[in-house]
Structure formats: structure tokens, C-alpha cells
Amino acid sequence: MIKIASWNINSVRLRMPQVERFVESHAPDVLCLQEIKTVEELFPHEAFEQLGYVHRAVHGQKGYHGVATVSRIPMAEVSRHDWQDNGEARHVGVELTDHGMVLENVYVPAGGDVPDREANPKFGQKLDFIGRMTRWAKNIDKPTLIVGDFNIAPLESDVWNHKQLLKVVSHTPIEVESLARFRDAHGWVDLGREHIRAPERYYSWWSYRAKDWRAGDRGRRLDHMWASPALAPQAKGHEVFEDTRDWEQCSDHVPIITEFEL
């Protein structure tokens, strides 16, 4: 069995103690991080080395964005796509060399606050990003797992209040429709909702603005793991680790893990 985790860590250097606590408790074989907010040279390589993650693919930039995939099992970096079309570090792809699985780690732009392409260029950039991902997905020819912070909660049960969030970026109909086109381009299987069936509650993000995130529970499912149709049946379990949201200096996202029988 292989355990693959994904986590928007919101600064890996600041939150390395939380990463260490998580991997020591749950021991994922591969960990995909988003929003690492550092260049590769300043990434905490030594700390990951000591934790056994001797294979690393880091696509970072100073202060913003950035993704990293670290692994205890052999892997090789295979791609870095600029789906933002402006040089931002938002993707890295690797192949798990002993298992024939391609693992894509992506950080989709948040899209600003106003769900209008004309009034808010960031929203247009987000939709265009997903459009580029969709064109890419049409040509996938290997068993692939794409994970990361998609910054979209597609289902009604992926948010704390569907009606209140219909005009809030991350749950608007146009974003949901864009993500559906991406899904259909390759026939992706949403592993989170394969194992935690809608309408069961499933969130992975809670705003820092909430004084008591548990009491309010105004969450959204922004983090995802989607598999190629041929790979999806090999996923044997999926978990969400909400307790990390209570940790000191926590990320506003929590990690998710899928276990595969490869």
C-alpha cells in the first residue's frame, strides 16, 4: 500500500514543525505541498531528509505560491506547467518510478473576491488557468493522480451553506462548470467523494477570520485528489485530518490522504 498526502501548508518554512508532527503521526509515502512560499534553495531540504523524504521536486518562488512533492519512494520530476501563463510556480509533476503512476501537484489561483472577469482580472486568470489544465488533460496517456488546492468547492455539500456561497468565489456556478469541463476532459474520478459520499460533510479549509472554526464550521472543500479512470479502483481509503486546524500556527487548510494498492 502507498499513502499519498496533499496539504496547502501556507509557508513550509514557517510550518515545518506542523509538517514534522503530521508525517511522524501518519507516515505518508509521498507528500504534496502547496503554497510553500519559498524558492528551492531555501526549502527545508535537510529537515525532509531527516524525515526520510529523500526524493524531492520543488517548484518555488519567493514569498508566494509554490509547490513541492517529497517522497520516501523513488520518483522523478517530469513536468512544470505554467497554467497561469505568467511564470508563477503553481505546478510540478512527478512519476513514481516503481509504480508507473504520474502524480501532478497543483495550486489553482484563488481568484480574488469578485466573481466577474471584467471587474476582477484575478477571477479571469483563475478560469483561464482551469481552461489550460482542461486542454492538457485531454492528452493524458498514463495513469495519473492530480492533487492539490483547486480553490473550488464543486458540490453543494462541499460548503457550509450552498445558497449563501453561490456568489462567493470558490463556489460560483461558472467555477463549478469550469471544473466539470476539466473533469470530463479525462474522466477524472473525485476520490474524496468516492470514499466520503455526498451529501456527507467534508471540508478541508476554514477561514482564519473565524474565532472558533469548529463552532462555526463554515468550511469548504477546496483540496482534492482526482484519479484517472484506470487508477481510481486502486484507491482503497481516503482520510481528512481536521485536527491539524487546531495546531499552533496552523494552516487554514488541512491535509488529506489517499491510500493506494498498486
Nearest to 147 by CA among 103, 85, 207: 103
Query: Residue 61: is it exposed, middle or buried by C-beta count within 10 angstroms (0-12/13-18/19+)?
Result: middle
Phi-psi region of 169 (alpha: psi -120 to 50; beta: other; left: phi over 0): beta
Nearest to 33 by CA among 63, 10, 2: 10
Residue 246 to residues 37, 45, 179, 212, 213: CA-CA distances in angstroms? 22, 26, 30, 10, 9
Per the annotation, the verdict on 107 as an active-site residue is yes
- What are the phi and psi torsion angles at 76 (to 5°)? -140, 135
The label of the residue with cell 483540496 reads 223
Distance between CA atoms of 241 and 256, rounded to whole angstroms?
A: 6
Per the annotation, the verdict on 64 as an active-site residue is no
Alpha helices in the chain (DSSP H): 16-26, 45-50, 121-137, 162-165, 173-186, 191-195, 213-216
User: Which one is catalytic: 29, 53, 149, 158?
Assistant: 149
Instruction: Please list, in sequence order, all residues whose beta carbon lies within 8 angstroms of the beta carbon of residue 262, skipping any fewer than 6 positions away.
Output: 2, 99, 101, 234
The DSSP symbol for 146 reads E
User: Which one is catalytic: 29, 53, 107, 203?
Assistant: 107
Annotated catalytic sites, by residue?
107, 149
